[in-house]
Amino acid sequence: MEEQRQQILNGSIRSLLFKFSTPAIVGMLVSALYNMVDTLFVGRGVGPLAIAALTVVMPMQLIMMAVGIMIGVGSASVISRALGAGEKEKALKTASNGVVLNLIISVALMIPSYIFIDKILYFFGASVDTYQYAKDYVIIILIGFISFSFAIMANNLIRAEGKPRAAMYSMLIGAVSNTILDPIFIFSFKMGVKGAAIATIISQLISAVFVISFFASSKSIYKLHFKSFKPDALISKEILSIGLPSFGMQAAGSAVFLFFNRSILHYGNDMYLAILGIGLRILNFIEMPIIGIAQGFSTLASFNFGAKHYERIKKVFKEAVLWSVIIAGTGFILLMAIPGRILGIFTSESSLINLGITPMRIIISMLPFVGFQILGGSLFQAIGKTIPSLIIILSRQLLLLLPAILILPLFFGLTGIWLSVPISNFISILITGVFVFWQVKKFDEMIKLRESEQFR
């Protein structure tokens, strides 16, 4: 562990970023494949209305993911800073508390979801034509709430101890299983959207089992035992306060889907809802590598912040932003050039493809610069500054996108719904720039103070 710590604190910035980000990128891409694969096979096997139904239930899936990400990111930040400062015991306690918190919150949300399932689906935008598809899917998906959120949370713990490759394997096993099982249940067993849901929860369970086996092996530092799961109020509070911005981002994403769904049904129809589902999943797939870079960056930044190596945080941030622009720019060029062909992967309905080309191009118009905003939020999470991180993360969706979805259609109709995405992204990027500029100046001041103390 000490050798790993010294490498993070002194090794090549670019090499370390690739080392920690590449597995995370693969893991995040694999995570995005869960919904991409379901949408692809459901679109081909059932039809556009089924895609619209999956779009309706997406807010619930984002909340499931949000729980795991909140506990995982919060725990990982505490663990990484503790390991960077040589406090191994605190890292172990944090991991145990993270597992307990994840279980409690998952169960607390899963039970009322079943009780109020009908009201939730109609509130989320289910129509007469999509309601049954949505209900068939979500009733099964909720069974996997605990295993899904646990697998996401645990992957952050694994990355925090400096084992990004093991985290990648966990996600890869789940996604490959889902890709194999989806066509079996949808086409061979002729189960439609129910088959897609069953394939998904089985895959998530397989991923969770892999994580548990890793923790039980000699490869992990955690060695979690039943006696170690004693809640610690201070650690739990720190986990939740740091992870709250990530939960906020995902919860805001859930709210965005909800408002998108309802607005589109008001100004359009289920076909446009299917376009939204495909378009946002494609956008999400492109953003996943950037989030992977942000996770790798976050681990490096937390370690170096704990060791007071502020100049290295600045360097790794610049490197991460560079690669995020390259990745997002590539996706931007492809989506602008051949949107019809990309939409055609999910459906053979020519009317749906033709309707989706213009909305797709509008939605992705600020894509090359979104990485800076994501990394800005990760910077403040990594150094334990909750408020700036919360503002940055929520500004993109909750504070800007939701009002835009409500206001712009009043003037531009359905086109206003699509325009709300790039306009809110642009303003959020400006806000992020202000906070990052302020923090860089703080780092420079701390570097000068440290250097002056060394010469005394």
Residue 372 has pLDDT above 70, yes or no: yes
Classify residue 167 as exposed, middle or buried by CB count within 10 Å of its CB (0-12, 13-18, 19+): buried
Q: What is d(CA 315, CA 320) in angstroms, rounded to the nearest whole number?
A: 9
Q: What's the CA gap between 156 and 370, in Å, rounded? A: 22
Name the band, by pLDDT with cuts 50, 70 and 90, for residue 83: confident
For residue 186, give both structure tokens.
Answer: 């949808």
376/97 Cα distance (integer angstroms) = 27
- Over residues 55-78, mean pLDDT: 90
DSSP states of 400-450: THHHHHHHHHHHHTHHHHHHHHHHHHHHHHHHHHHHHHHHHHHHHHHHHHH
Positive/negative CA dihedral, 427, 433, 438, 443:
positive
Q: Please give the average per-residue pLDDT across 282-310, as a whole number.
A: 86
In a domain, 2, yes or no: no
Is the pLDDT reported for residue 193 higher than 80? yes
Give me the pLDDT at residue 264, please: 92
The whole-number average pLDDT for the span 341-357 is 89
Provide the 10 A C-beta neighbour count for residue 118. Answer: 11
Looking at residue 22, what is its pLDDT? 82
* Per-residue pLDDT tens digits for 197-207: 999 999 989 99
User: What DSSP line would sit under 356-417, residue for residue?
Assistant: HHHHHHHHTTTGGGHHHHHHHHHHHHHTT-HHHHHHHHHIIIIITHHHHHHHHHHHHTHHHH
**pTM of the full structure:** 0.77
- What is the distance in angstroms between the CA of the first residue and the CA of the last residue of the chain? 33
The CA distances from residue 376 to 295, 333, 422, in Å, are 12, 24, 18
8 A C-beta contact, residue 166 and residue 200:
no
Range of the domain at 286: 14-448
| pLDDT confidence tier of residue 332, bands split at 50, 70 and 90 | very high
Q: Which of 253-262, 304-313, 402-411 has the highest mean pLDDT?
A: 402-411
Angle in degrees, 0-180, between the axes of helices 13-45 and 270-306, rounded to the nearest 10: 160
Structure-model confidence comparison of residues 102 and 446, the more confident one: 102
Count how many residues are written for the chain: 456
Mean confidence (pLDDT) of the chain: 87
State percent of the chain over pLDDT 70: 96
Cβ atoms of 310 and 446 within 8 Å: the answer is: yes
* Domain assignment of residue 453, yes or no: no
| Alpha carbons within 13 A on the beta-carbon side of 83 | 33
Mean pLDDT on 211-236: 80
pLDDT attached to residue 385: 85
Q: Output the CA–CA distances (angstroms, integers) from residue 6 to 166, 312, 383, in the order listed.
A: 20, 13, 19
* Within-domain flag for 153: yes
268 — phi, psi (to 5°)? Answer: -135, -130
In a domain, 6, yes or no: no
Count helices and strands in the chain by DSSP H and E runs: 18, 0
Instruction: Give residue 57's pLDDT.
Output: 92
DSSP string over 54-89: HHHHHHHHHHHHHHHHHHHHHHHHHHHHHHHTT-HH
Confidence band, pLDDT 50/70/90 cuts, at residue 309: confident
- Rounded to 5 degrees, φ, ψ at 191 are -105, 0
Q: What angle do CA 424, 426, 427 make, to 5 degrees?
A: 70
pLDDT score at 133: 95
How much is the pLDDT for 227? 61
Please count the structural domains in the chain.
1
294 in any annotated domain: yes
Q: Among 97-106, 368-377, 378-387, which stretch is predicted with the lowest mean pLDDT?
A: 378-387
Average pLDDT, stretch 38-56?
89
- Cβ atoms of 332 and 364 within 8 Å: the answer is yes
Summarised one tens digit per residue, pLDDT across range 245-281 is: 778 767 777 888 888 899 998 998 899 999 988 888 8
CA atoms of 369 and 326, how far apart (whole Å): 10
Q: Is residue 454 in a domain?
A: no
Average pLDDT over residues 442-456: 77
Q: Compute the average pLDDT of residues 406-419.
A: 94
Q: Which residues contact 179 (CB under 8 A, 6 or more apart)?
A: 33, 37
Q: Is the pLDDT of residue 292 over 90?
A: no
Neighbours of 270 (CB within 10 A): 22
Question: Distance between CA 338 and CA 244 in Å, rounded?
Answer: 38
Instruction: Give the pLDDT mean for 370-384.
Output: 90
Residues near 399 by beta carbon (within 8 Å), at least 6 away in sequence: 391
Sign of the alpha-carbon dihedral angle for 316, 319, 325, 328: negative
Predicted pLDDT of residue 67: 93
Q: Is residue 455 part of a domain?
A: no
| pLDDT higher than threshold 70 for residue 228 | no
DSSP assignments along 243-255, one per residue: HHHHHHHHHHHHH
- Coil, strand or helix: which one is 257? helix
Amino acid residing at 140: I
Is residue 54 in a domain? yes
pLDDT score of 189 more than 80: yes
CA atoms of 292 and 21, how far apart (whole Å): 6
- What type of residue is 339? P
1 has pLDDT over 60:
no
